[in-house]
């Protein structure tokens, strides 16, 4: 769990703080989008082989390799400040995340029963979110505070943040070395991808791709939207994002219980569709930051708080032998549209972060993805690896 805490720190800085760092250095939205898209695209290449290798060679081994790539990328952020170095550095961290995440989810699935898996993922998510919350608050607030109190430039403040983050990338490696793993069977992985499993993979990839495409138009741009589109200070941005992350962390203790009452698929679908209401209202509330903070928190809570339930559901409907490769393939389906759309979004924003059009694009794709997910997966039972015939 402490490994998840520290990976939350690195993830928070790379997801939220990095975009403000690039903005402080004067990179236009087009170049920011291209750096993000290229890094995400490299992550896709890692997913192509990472899940397979994790299932064949061991999830713990690939998890460690992913952590090492992330540490290397964070160290590279401390060198030259130009588009080429930043692109390579972000590519390394993206590759690290692509190797580590499916390995971690599959490795954790060995440590809990199917019935308790969503609670186990909820606890892991809490520790991860706790690290992410701390990192985003100090990572965004710190440079602004240093700039206002000690006249240290924002870019130098963000460099200090990345130095501390690089140090935080080391403890997870130490913790994971102590984790045990069950031995892997010798059966060929493709044998486990029968017709039923291929259909499950295809439909989940379809909806996950639409989620990734929609997210790229708005979600990573939020710090710049708050700062340049709404006039928020660094301290205000830190408070908005911290409030959201804290509420999500608390929700991960509560929401898994509702899945026992209403079912995992229904819970995930309702939350995802409900999340688009506050999302679409954000660009029309820019004059009142307190309202923006409430809408952003509500959107983040509804969209992200079912994550432990979703992870547990997938691990329960996918056979144990292919869990890592299944997650890797489904994440490729998310990452490819995200990478392409991220580059497109940079030109759509065109340094004007007050626009509402990207929010409509994201909303439409989120709703479509949620409908696809519900229509198909309401017929897929957990634990039994079978599709219910409701005809």
pLDDT at 264 over 90: no
> What is the average pLDDT across 87-92?
97
> What is the average pLDDT across 72-83?
96
Q: Do residues 209 and 334 touch, judged by C-beta distance below 8 A?
A: yes
Q: Which two tokens stand for residue 172?
A: 């997870």
Closest CA to 197 of 312, 117, 317: 317
pLDDT per position as a tens digit, 3-49: 889 999 999 999 889 999 999 999 999 999 999 999 999 998 888 88
Closest CA to 166 of 96, 107, 98, 102: 96
Q: Do residues 385 and 317 touch, judged by C-beta distance below 8 A?
A: yes
* CA 317/CA 321 separation, integer angstroms: 12
| CATH architecture of residue range(s) 2-178+193-377 | Up-down Bundle (1.20)
- Mean pLDDT over the full length of the chain: 89
3-state secondary structure of 231: coil
Closest CA to 255 of 316, 318, 301: 301
* CA 139/CA 251 separation, integer angstroms: 23
- Confidence at residue 388, expressed as pLDDT on a 0 to 100 scale: 38
- Confidence at residue 372, expressed as pLDDT on a 0 to 100 scale: 96
Q: Which two tokens stand for residue 355?
A: 């626009």
Rounded-to-10 torsion of CA 53, 59, 65, 69: 90
* CA 69/CA 87 separation, integer angstroms: 14
**Which is more confidently placed, 182 or 187?**
182
- Confidence at residue 284, expressed as pLDDT on a 0 to 100 scale: 96
Q: What angle do helix axes 83-109 and 59-76 make, rounded to 10 degrees?
A: 160
CA 178 remoteness from chain centre: 25
pLDDT per position as a tens digit, 338-351: 999 999 999 999 99
Q: Do residues 241 and 129 touch, judged by C-beta distance below 8 A?
A: no
Q: Which residues pair with 17 in a beta bridge?
A: none
Q: Report the chain's C-alpha Rg in angstroms.
A: 20
pLDDT at 260 over 70: no
* CA 163/CA 170 separation, integer angstroms: 12
Going from N- to C-terminal start, the domains of the chain cover: 2-178+193-377
Read off the pTM: 0.84
DSSP tag of 181: -
pLDDT band of residue 183 (cuts 50, 70, 90) is: low
């Amino acid at each position: 769990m402490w490994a998840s805490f520290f990976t939350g720190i690195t993830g928070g800085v790379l997801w939220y703080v990095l975009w403000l760092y690039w903005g402080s250095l004067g990179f236009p939205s087009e170049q920011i989008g291209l750096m993000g898209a290229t890094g995400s695209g490299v992550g896709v290449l890692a997913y192509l082989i990472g899940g397979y290798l994790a299932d064949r060679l061991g999830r713990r081994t690939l998890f460690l390799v992913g952590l090492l790539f992330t540490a290397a990328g964070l160290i590279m952020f401390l060198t030259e400040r130009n588009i080429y170095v930043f692109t390579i550095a972000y590519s390394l961290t993206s590759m690290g995340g692509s190797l580590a995440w499916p390995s971690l989810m599959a490795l954790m699935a060995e440590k809990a029963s199917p019935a308790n898996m969503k609670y186990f993922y909820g606890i892991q998510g809490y520790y991860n979110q706790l690290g992410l919350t701390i990192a985003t608050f100090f990572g965004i607030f710190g440079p602004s505070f240093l700039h206002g109190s000690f006249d240290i430039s924002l870019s130098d403040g963000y460099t200090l943040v990345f130095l501390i983050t690089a140090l935080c990338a080391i403890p997870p490696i130490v913790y994971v070395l102590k984790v045990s793993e069950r031995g892997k069977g010798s059966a060929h992985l493709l044998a486990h991808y029968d017709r039923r499993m291929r259909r499950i993979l295809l439909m989940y990839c379809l909806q996950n791709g639409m989620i990734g495409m929609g997210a790229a138009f708005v979600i990573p741009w939020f710090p710049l939207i708050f700062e340049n589109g709404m006039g928020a200070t660094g301290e205000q941005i830190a408070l908005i994002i911290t409030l959201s992350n804290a509420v999500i962390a608390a929700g991960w203790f509560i929401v898994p219980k509702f899945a026992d009452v209403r079912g995992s698929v229904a819970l995930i679908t309702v939350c995802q569709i409900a999340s688009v209401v506050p999302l679409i209202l954000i660009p029309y509330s820019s004059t009142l930051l307190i309202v923006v903070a409430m809408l952003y928190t509500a959107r983040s809570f509804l969209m992200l708080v079912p994550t432990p339930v979703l992870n547990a559901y997938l691990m329960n409907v996918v056979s144990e032998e292919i869990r890592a490769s299944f997650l890797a393939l489904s994440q490729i389906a998310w990452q490819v549209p995200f990478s392409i759309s991220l580059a497109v979004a940079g030109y759509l924003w065109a340094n004007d972060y007050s626009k509402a059009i990207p929010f409509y694009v994201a909303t439409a794709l989120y709703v479509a993805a949620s409908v696809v997910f519900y229509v198909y997966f309401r017929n897929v039972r957990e634990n039994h690896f079978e599709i219910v015939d409701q005809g």
